[in-house]
Structure 1
Amino acid sequence: MLDPRSAKDTIAAIATPPGDGGVGIIRISGSRARDIAHAVFCAASPAFDDFEPYRLHYGHIQDPDGVELDDVLCAFMPGPRSYTGEDVAEINCHGGRAVLAAVLQETLRHGARLAERGEFTYRAFMNGRLDLSQAEAVAEMIHAPTRAAMHLAQVKLSGLLGLKIADLRTSLEALRAQMAVAVDFPEEELECLSPEELIQTVNAVRKEIKLLLCAVDRTRAWREGALVVLAGRVNAGKSSLMNGLLGRNRAIVTDQPGTTRDYLEETLNLDGLAVRLADTAGIRATDDAVEAAGLAKGRELMDQADLVVVLCDGTTPPDDEILATARDLDPKKTLAVLNKTDLPGFSLAHGEPFAELGLRTAGVSAKTGQGLPQLCAMIREQVLHGAGQPDTDVIAPNARQAAMLAEADAELAGLAEDALAQVPYDLLSVRLETACNALASITGEIAPADVLNSIFDSFCIGK
């Protein structure tokens, strides 16, 4: 848990992902960053006497016995013009685990403390380099599953959400000031805000909030990816279809019914849309407890899915059980696929019962790959529901930010109703203050310690 009192410590951590790589970075931040960098770094140039800011210096790191640990490049960035707003040093090493651990140990030996999760970004927030919405966007950039998700995070990292929230708060704070005048000087002949003007301003702010909330739903699939579940009878070809969509053999395929007893999940990129593809156990009556548990999990996944692909053997009409399964699903979130176009007896006419349920249908051969590109396009289109590619400046709040926006909107809706009912301004101001505080929590101007810790604890240690 982050403690603001520890912000005076100089911290260090490995800032690159674990594992072997060409380059690994040790980041040091705090008032002693320069001193610690000097203590561990031996410059190759005899003319070196101090770090020139924002410039890479070549040299090596050695242990207390004078044994060279690694050739490195070292840079120093004085605060406040650094990521954290403090003095920062970065040591670029070779990316092996042992190398990075040894160099990090040297920085700790010279007085740095191992950073906690998200502590570098936490310090950037505390030092005014980022607002809280930008800090969250850093984590969203790191975890973005696709380029579209990366773009949505970058929009917030640029500060557009913070600016939008500031504009909304400015409008509401102006109302608060006018209300304060009315409350403090009720008998004075001062120009006061009428209930009609109050409601007009409140509704204008609510309109902007609703646009932000609409963007949450519209971009959710881009930001978080979509869950697509493959469902159908045993031996309909679900596992073969999963392998075909992935382009590799992930699921076991045999002629034996019930091979898939649990569910398998893999990630698929459909032209920039991240899809979690789940292959579920085949639908059938069974006395096997393990298979029954798999079927129950499959039904649970279908309830959660953004899209259910109901797969059938296209050489015969669908049976009552699979039609009953399809009938229980939302047509907007269901796609019927007839498999085995490569076999005699296949007919798209076998999909007519699904069409009568309002489902779109497609024909494929999981074995030969026929129709798979068209199926991918249909899955992508149906998951996005016409959302299209994210706009260049769309602001898409995350779940926490959306909750705060919804709270502010609810208070403003109540405020408008109370104003129509001629509730006194001193009571109206309480709702207005609550709405302002909800908006302020988005950018971190008002943020309890437990909220900050929950946000920054989700970061990796080196960020």
Structure 2
Amino acid sequence: MADTIAAIATPLGEGGVGVVRVSGPDSLSIMKIIYRECPDEVIPRHVYYGHAVDNEGIVIDDMVSIYMKAPHTFTGDDVVEFQAHGSNVSLRLILRSAITAGARIADPGEFTKNAFLNGRLDLSQAEAVIDLIKAKSEKPLSIASDQLNGSLGQEIASIRNNIKDVLAQMAVNIDFPDEDIEQVSYDEFLAELMKQQGRLGNLIKSAEFGKLAREGIKLALVGRTNVGKSSLMNGLLGEDRAIVTNIPGTTRDTIEESATIGGYPIVIVDTAGIRDTDDLIEQIGIEKSKNEINIADLVIMVIDGNRDLEDEDFEIAHHIEGKKVLLVVNKEDLGINIPKREIEKIKSILSCNSMLYTTVKTIEGIGKVRDAIEDIFAEGFFKSEGGNIVTNERHKDALVRASESLVQGIELLDMHEPLEIVEIEVHDAFQILGEIIGETASEEILDTVFSKFCLGK
């Protein structure tokens, strides 16, 4: 018989309400022991108010108790939740009472693991739970919510089913070559496998953006000193985080802060102005700036539209050449005095089509920059045929491996190699895709997945 597990399901710290969750076959009997006013007959999904007591009958706290009967629960087992005041002491004592009454402490992620093992979730849905908990802004939350509802698992299952049909027909061709059974031609096999390969390619392509959506988009603000980088950062953050003066070299080190733009988590790095200097501390800051530029997903180069460009501007442009760049011509309110040919020269160095004129000290000016950032990343936004965005590195790795096996099978078919050889590669793709939804996941994969969960979930 399965164990009955228990854990505190709410974060540590003081709060209005805290929850101790119990799941397993002994959940109801534990409720009757801990909950002093528990009736003889407990109606599932009814809320009961009373007092939690320890094994000596001493009252711990006021609480409400809810019993949910299997299989219609998150874990698929009987579940009881004790909702008390959000005191760490109170919750620990209630948990201790549950352990004394027959439960054991749950392992990290064990509630969700049981939901997977009991068929309540596929593995991609289980992983979406942790993504939902860790979401930093609206878009990652929305993506995780879709995956928790089964959208990714359904698309993977659909591709696997189509591959399984191909494998079944290959088996017929291999085992009954001379029988009066309809055979499928190599061209038909090719057409179907190429279709499924295209679907895998779309999922892999979505992962390029999915990682940014999940982990955050890193923006590096660059430009020579005193062009408005710090003002731009403060405007994007909505607070005065960077010091703004008209003294060159005020920002002597990189400053990193988080924000949200268009629903996506953004990490903004205000770099030290890149210039020749004898100041040792400023030199260190400039080197750090160059490192931040190298790892940025988007570089925003700010130039002063009120003054002629200098050699330093072009040196900076050459340094960020090849990066995704938004060129911001600042101080529009003072008048744009840069010759158009110089701006075109900068754009040519950057291979940059994204440029705007603005004043970053105004709300309207900051709004223009935010809109431009959104537009740039909207261009890279890609969904699969099933409307999914792959955000999980494990999923991407499995998709790439499955795709490689399917490509091998397609190439073998194209060379008219025997189906017995082709079938090996196609079957590998089928098996690898099963790792994503848990159909063929090893115990090692499951342990790795659920070890990332917090206690109580």
Q: TM-score, normalised by structure 1?
A: 0.88
Q: What percentage of residue pairs aligned between the two structures are identical?
A: 37
TM-aligned CA deviation for residue 113 of structure 1: 2.0
Q: Quick one: distance in 2 between partners of 1:307 and 1:290?
A: 26
Residue 354 of structure 1 is aligned with which of 346, 351, 355?
Answer: 346
TM-aligned CA deviation for residue 396 of structure 1: 1.6
Q: TM-score, normalised by structure 2?
A: 0.89
* Letter paired with 1:184: D
What secondary structure sits across from 1:207 in the alignment? helix
Counterpart mapping for 1:39-438 below 5 A: 39-43=33-37, 48-64=39-55, 66-186=57-177, 188=179, 190-254=181-245, 257-286=248-277, 291-329=282-320, 333-341=324-332, 347=337, 349=339, 352=343, 353-357=345-349, 358-359=351-352, 360-369=354-363, 371-385=365-379, 387=381, 394-398=387-391, 399-438=393-432
* Letter paired with 1:183: I
- Equivalent residue number for residue 448 of structure 1: 442
Say if 1:256 and 1:103 are closer, same or farther in 2 by CA, change over 3 A.
Answer: farther
Say if 1:213 and 1:185 are closer, same or farther in 2 by CA, change over 3 A.
Answer: same
Q: Quick one: distance in 2 between partners of 1:211 and 1:345?
A: 46
Q: Quick one: distance in 2 between partners of 1:369 and 1:239?
A: 15
Say if 1:461 and 1:289 are closer, same or farther in 2 by CA, change over 3 A.
Answer: farther
Work out whether 1:12 is the aligned partner of 2:6: yes
**2:210–2:390 contact (8 Å) kept in structure 1:** no
Structure 1 moving runs of 4+ over 6 Å = 390-393
What secondary structure sits across from 2:291 in the alignment? helix
TM-aligned CA deviation for residue 309 of structure 1: 1.0
TM-aligned CA deviation for residue 134 of structure 1: 0.8
Q: Which runs of 5+ in 1 are unaligned?
A: 1-6
Q: Quick one: distance in 2 between partners of 1:298 and 1:262?
A: 8
**2:207–2:396 contact (8 Å) kept in structure 1:** yes
Q: Quick one: distance in 2 between partners of 1:101 and 1:318?
A: 64
Q: CA deviation digits over 1:171-226, x for unaligned, max 9? A: 22222222223333455454332211211221121122223233333555444431
Q: Quick one: distance in 2 between partners of 1:134 and 1:207?
A: 23
- Equivalent residue number for residue 4 of structure 1: none
Q: Quick one: distance in 1 between partners of 2:287 and 2:26?
A: 57
Work out whether 1:24 is the aligned partner of 2:24: no
**2:209–2:380 contact (8 Å) kept in structure 1:** no
Q: CA deviation digits over 1:399-421, x for unaligned, max 9? A: 32222222222212211211122
Q: CA deviation digits over 1:249-270, x for unaligned, max 9? A: 2234455554444322222222
Q: CA deviation digits over 1:290-333, x for unaligned, max 9? A: 54443333222222222111123333223223322223435772
Q: Quick one: distance in 1 between partners of 2:69 and 2:425?
A: 44
